[in-house]
Every structure is written in structure tokens, then in C-alpha cells.
Amino acid sequence: MELTERKLRILQAIVSDFILTAEPVGSRTLSRKYEMGISPATIRNEMADLEEMGFLSHPHTSAGRVPSDKAYRLYVNRLMDKYELSESAKKKIRSELKVNIRELERTIRHASELLSELTNLTSFATVEDMCKVQLFLEGMTRIFAHPEFNNVERAKRFLAMVDRRDDLTDTLVRREEGITITIGDENSEDIMPDSSIITATYHVDGKFVGKLGVIGPTRMKYSEITSVIDYMTKNLDRTFQLKEGDEDER
């Protein structure tokens, strides 16, 4: 079965709507909220095809559909729009990251706190120094604000993952450099296979030092969060490139 442009537009709308509402999306919702130029009946047929192709699932208690991990991967790779951070958000990040610039660990921990605040997700940062790796976790209770984590079993898995701090640290350290997004089952069985993790690397004097990122439900604002993490790590790179004389002259 072919993944046509019309199917892609419908899938993009479903993922976008579900990310915002956390509610299964039906054909009438799509017809009403998005300019598809096609009838609800045609949308229903296309949604049935997308479900057969593995991009949607159909909760028993609802007439609507929800995206699968496969749908989120396609969305991240091909369908999501680029998110432009507001000037106020950029200014906040720049100003906050200047605090305690001479203390690496404190600056990185503060960056992780800020990331959790801006995304409303649990954030983390690693600092690699010689053979030692430190892991900072911030905003651990924020993840429970998302309806997916009202599920007791999922909440227990999250808390168990946090308790296995060494395993989590090892997993994060092994992730590829640059911005990396892993969705659902792409994560290991021990590291939240029903969640998504986004990481980016940061450097000091051009040398790799660690990673900054978030963990949350697969239903997360990928474009916005990726933009925040990318902007923060680039500012960390620039911040730590400052020499004492450069900072004094500012």
C-alpha cells in the first residue's frame, strides 16, 4: 500500500493534534480543524489504511485513532515543521547560562534545571571528566503531569529506571553525538521503551564533555523541544569558549 501525499497530510495532522490534546483523533475532528479539502468519509478510509500500515492504533474505548511509534518516527524524520524559539526564550537561555560560568558542573546542572522548566519534562545532563561521568537529573516529578504517566505501571517503570542510575548513565553516554531522538521501542527494555528520549552533545574548548536532554512520553512536542535543546547546547558551547579577558570585556 502506497503512502501517498494525502495520507502523509492526514498522518501529520493526527500526530500534531494528538500531541496537543492527548485525545484520540477522529475523522470529524480532522475535517473540522484542518483544511483537508476532502470529506470525513474519505478521511476515515485513509485512516483505516494508515492503521493497516501500522501508523495508527485504535483504542477500544474511542472511535478515534492514536499514532504509533512508527508514526512518530515518520513525523520526526519527514513531517514536523521547524520550530522557531521566541526571542524571549532565547534571551532567557542566554542570560541563565551566564550564571556561574567558571564552575562547569554548576553551570551544567543549572542548564538541566532550565531545560526541565522550559519543556515541562524530566531533564538530564552528563558531565564526563577523565574516567568519571556524573549524571544530573532534574524535574523528575514533572513527568507525572503528563496523562501517560497516570498509569501506575508506567510510573513504576520510570521510578525504577531512575533508581538504576548507573545503567541510565551508561545508556546516555553511549548515545550518538549531535541531536539524537529515540522513540518508544527504539529505547532499551530497561530504559523506558514506552517513552522518548532526546539528547544533544555540548563541548568545552571544542572538546566533547557531555550530553543534555529530556525524557518524556512519546507524545511530546518534538520540534519545539529539539529547538530548545539545540539552542541551549550551542549556547553552552559558546559560553565555555569565552576566555577570561573576553568575559571581562562584555
Domain boundary among 14, 46, 79: 79
Residue span of the structural domain in which 146 resides: 87-249
Q: How far is CA 56 from CA 10, 59, 61, in A?
A: 11, 10, 15
What pLDDT does 151 receive? 85
What pLDDT does 128 receive? 85
Per-residue cell: 141: 516529578
The predicted model scores a pTM of 0.89
Domain boundary among 23, 51, 79: 79
DSSP β-ladder status, 122-129 and 195-204:
unpaired
**Separation of alpha carbons 70 and 53, rounded Å:** 10
**Separation of alpha carbons 238 and 69, rounded Å:** 35
My answer on whether 29 and 105 are in the same domain is: no
Grid look-up 496537543 returns 20
My answer on whether 117 and 233 are in the same domain is: yes
My answer on whether 65 and 92 are in the same domain is: no
My answer on whether 65 and 128 are in the same domain is: no
Grid look-up 518516527 returns 73
My answer on whether 75 and 98 are in the same domain is: no
What pLDDT does 100 receive? 58
pLDDT digit string (tens) for the chain, length 250 residues: 889 999 999 999 999 999 999 999 999 889 888 888 888 899 999 999 999 999 999 887 677 899 999 999 999 999 999 999 999 999 999 888 876 556 788 889 999 999 999 999 999 999 987 778 999 999 999 999 999 888 888 888 888 888 888 988 998 988 998 999 999 999 877 677 789 999 999 988 778 889 999 999 999 999 999 999 999 999 888 877 654 445 443 3
